[in-house]
């Protein structure tokens, strides 16, 4: 079965600094990959997704992620963090074009310091 690992439970970044959140997956073929963001007490919002093609994908709110097959990774990046980016971030993987369910990582909580 596929699995998703987000090795960082918490990350603190200064406002204006760059951000990279790590995500590794375990699956033999190329999965469908997603990043979601959740503000406190809210549902999850899709930031970006990767299915095929260009391995660098752009998302909303200035986020991007890069798929690296050799490392089984799909790390999320942002060049300059804003205080409003403080939230929990989830990486997820779906297997096969007709996947029924997504497997989520346990999330990374992003704290932004002034």
Partner 1 sequence: SQTIHQWPATLVQPVGSPLSLECTVEGTSNPNLYWYRQAAGRGLQLLFYSVGIGQISSEVPQNLSASRPQDRQFILSSKKLLLSDSGFYLCAWRGTGRGYGYTFGSGTRLTVV
Tell me if 42 sits within 8 A of 81, measured CB to CB. Answer: no
Q: Which residues of the chain form beta strands (DSSP E)?
A: 3-5, 10-14, 19-21, 24-26, 32-38, 44-50, 56-58, 64-68, 73-78, 87-94, 103-104, 108-113
User: Least distance to partner 1 from the beta carbon of 78, Å?
Assistant: 19
Q: Tell me the closest approach of the beta carbon of residue 75 to partner 1, in angstroms.
A: 18
Interface with partner 1 by CB under 8 A: which residues?
32, 34, 36, 41-46, 49, 51, 90, 92, 94, 97-98, 100-102, 104-107
Q: Report how far residue 41's alpha carbon sits from residue 79's, in angstroms, rounded to the nearest whole number.
A: 26
Q: How far is the CB of 69 from partner 1 (least distance, A)?
A: 19
Query: Given the complex with partner 1, which of 69 and 106 has the nearer CB atom?
Result: 106
Q: Which is nearer to partner 1, 36 or 112 (CB)?
A: 36
């Amino acid at each position: 079965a596929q699995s998703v690992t987000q090795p960082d439970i918490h990350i603190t970044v200064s406002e204006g600094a760059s951000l990279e959140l790590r995500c590794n997956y375990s699956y033999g073929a190329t999965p469908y990959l997603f990043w979601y963001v959740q503000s406190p007490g809210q549902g999850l919002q899709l930031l970006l997704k990767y299915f095929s093609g260009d391995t660098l994908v752009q998302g909303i709110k200035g986020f991007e992620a890069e798929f690296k097959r050799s490392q089984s990774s799909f790390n999320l990046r942002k060049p300059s963090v804003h205080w409003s980016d403080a939230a929990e971030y989830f990486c997820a993987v779906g297997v096969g074009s007709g996947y029924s369910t997504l497997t989520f990582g346990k999330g990374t909580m992003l704290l932004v310091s002034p």
